[in-house]
Amino acid sequence: MKKKLELVLAVVFTISFTVALSTNVHKTEFMLVASRQKLSTLSETPSFSINEHPALQVSSAKSLEVHIYQNLNWECHVQSICKKIASALGTIKRIRHLIPFNVLINVNNGLVQPHFDYCKVVWGNCGIGLSEKLQKLQNRAARISMSASYQCNVDDLFRALGWPELKHQRLVSTSIMMYKTVHGMTPEYLRSRFVSRDDITSYRLRKTENQLALPQPRTNYLKKSFSFSGAKLWNSLSHDLRSAASLNDFKRKLRHHSFE
């Protein structure tokens, strides 16, 4: 079966609490995680049961409000975010003429921005198409906040509001996570995904100090993985940034960094 499937099997459990922690077999689901091409080659779907209760196969699952799709393309999660943000923006648009501008911005920060921010280090490398969908919503939020028409230049609105674009926000968050990882501030399972270049070579230049060994992915899936994209982003930062003495110092310097 392993050779035939050539994929990773993810079993998603819904836990019920009784006197002791136990698995609710009636709510147990399983999901096959692989590329669309590999899933299409399956001649039969495996089945699982627990205590003679069959587990339901699903194509997506939600863990801590993050939607995980079997192809790992984050489409389900971004669609969920878009629906929540569109609903919140509709509410803000209806009340914007009733409240002062500063209150309107606080409402946006409370109802819209958290959806852009939540777990963005996990799903932030979601691809150009999904990223553009989210950016259109931020553009809409800026126009609503400034009572501007669609003819207005959105870059001018962002400058007036002091909002960086979503891509920049995600790169900042990922850079901070990488600093924490490199400096031992994250769990071991995350730190173990990265190897310092200093540990595998004795040839050093100033510009390559504190850089990470870059994996050689063979597929686009691995190129989007945190172990590759995170290391690539970290290596692209300046030597001064990578050598920041503390996390606060790193964040301060990062404010002036321009991601290309």
Q: What is the pLDDT of residue 63?
A: 81
The upper half-sphere exposure of residue 7, i.e. CA atoms within 13 Å in the direction of its Cβ, equals 23
Tens digits of pLDDT across the chain (260 residues): 444 444 434 433 333 333 344 667 777 788 887 777 777 787 777 777 777 788 888 878 888 888 888 877 889 999 999 999 999 999 999 999 999 999 999 999 999 999 999 999 989 888 899 999 999 999 999 999 999 988 889 999 999 999 999 999 999 999 999 999 999 999 998 888 888 876 655 555 556 677 898 888 777 778 888 889 999 999 999 999 999 999 999 999 998 888 76
Tokens 């002791």, residue located: 20
Count of Cβ atoms closer than 10 Å to residue 81 Cβ: 23
Tokens 């500063």, residue located: 102
Q: What DSSP line would sit under 24-93, residue for residue?
A: -GGG-EEEEES-HHHHHT-SS----EETTEEPEE-SEEEETTEEEETT---HHHHHHHHHHHHHHHHHHH
Q: What is the pLDDT of residue 180?
A: 94
Helix (H, G, I), strand (E, B) or coil at 196: strand
- Strands 8-12, 29-33: parallel, antiparallel or unpaired by DSSP? antiparallel
Q: What is the pLDDT of residue 119?
A: 92
Return the domain boundaries, the chain. 2-58, 75-163, 179-254
Q: What is the pLDDT of residue 8?
A: 39
Q: What is the pLDDT of residue 38?
A: 79
Count of Cβ atoms closer than 10 Å to residue 213 Cβ: 15
DSSP type of residue 8: E
What does pTM read for this prediction?
A: 0.78
